[in-house]
Structure 1
Amino acid sequence: MTAHNFKDLKVWQMSIELTKEVYDLTSIFPTDEKWGLTSQIRRCAVSIPSNIAEGSGRNSNQDFSRFLGIALGSSYELETQLILAEKLNLISTTDLDNMSNQLMSIQKIIFSLQRKFGN
């Protein structure tokens, strides 16, 4: 296995930026959502770059691929929660579209990396 420096991975950099944007966006959520949707959305967002980083430090490409899969799952969970937030009028359709586009790009890269390192 070749060591994967997570800081050099474009997908990690993109997911860090997305996580920052998620924190900014959810900072305006109502306080009664602090322990509900706000917390859940933030945990999902943080999970994406965290699992990419953790997987990069594992001993095999298959382990790395497994953690990429966890990151991918978190990205879909985040997307679902953002859709819900938009339906609850907590975020705008424009914000949802922006985040969804970023997530789609991240998902494509993760999927591609998984195929590369999965075998």
Structure 2
Amino acid sequence: MRDYKKLEVWKRSHELNMFIKKSIATKLPLEEKYELKSQLTRAALSIPLNIVEGCGRFTDKDFAHFLDNALGSVNEVDYCALCAMELRYISDDDYNLLNSNLNEVRAMIIGFLKFLRENK
């Protein structure tokens, strides 16, 4: 079992989740409360949660499964952010900052997955 708090990928995904909750979701209009805002915040929370859940597993294969789920959530956040930007709910600058952070987390998860799968 791993201590998720020691993993840089978890730290960055937690920071991403907090950024989305505090700086992005708050800008979405009330009429998006049960649609785009809900989907965006649930997907953002799912990234660190899947890493945490994977850390509780005993095999690298099981852990990789949860990292795959986290990667799926990264892609979900990516699309929600694109929608928010195209609907003009968030600025281009907000979108670019979010996208940069998202790409960093995505790359870290992919790198960790490669590491786990190569070291069977």
Normalised-by-shorter TM-score class = over 0.9
Deviations 1:4-51 (A, max 9, x none): 211111111111111111112211321111101000000000000000
Give the distance between the partners of 1:106 and 1:18, measured in 2 at CA.
Answer: 8
Amino acid of the structure 1 residue aligned with 2:47 = I
Runs of 4+ in 1 over 3 A off after TM superposition: none
Q: TM-score under structure 2 normalisation?
A: 0.94
Which secondary structure does the structure 1 equivalent of 2:74 belong to?
Answer: helix
| 1:109 partner amino acid | M
2:58 is the alignment partner of 1:59: yes
What TM-score comes out, normalization by structure 1 length? 0.94
Tell me the matched-pair count. 117
5 Å matches for 1:1-119?
Answer: 3-24=1-22, 25-118=24-117, 119=120
Code of the residue aligned with 1:7 in structure 2: it is: K
Gaps of 5+ in 2: none
> Quick one: distance in 2 between partners of 1:98 and 1:72?
19
CA RMSD of aligned residues (A): 0.9
User: Are the counterparts in 1 of residues 43 and 77 from structure 2 also a CA contact under 8 Å?
Assistant: yes
The percent of aligned pairs where both chains have the same amino acid is 34
Distance 1:113 1:16 in 2: 16
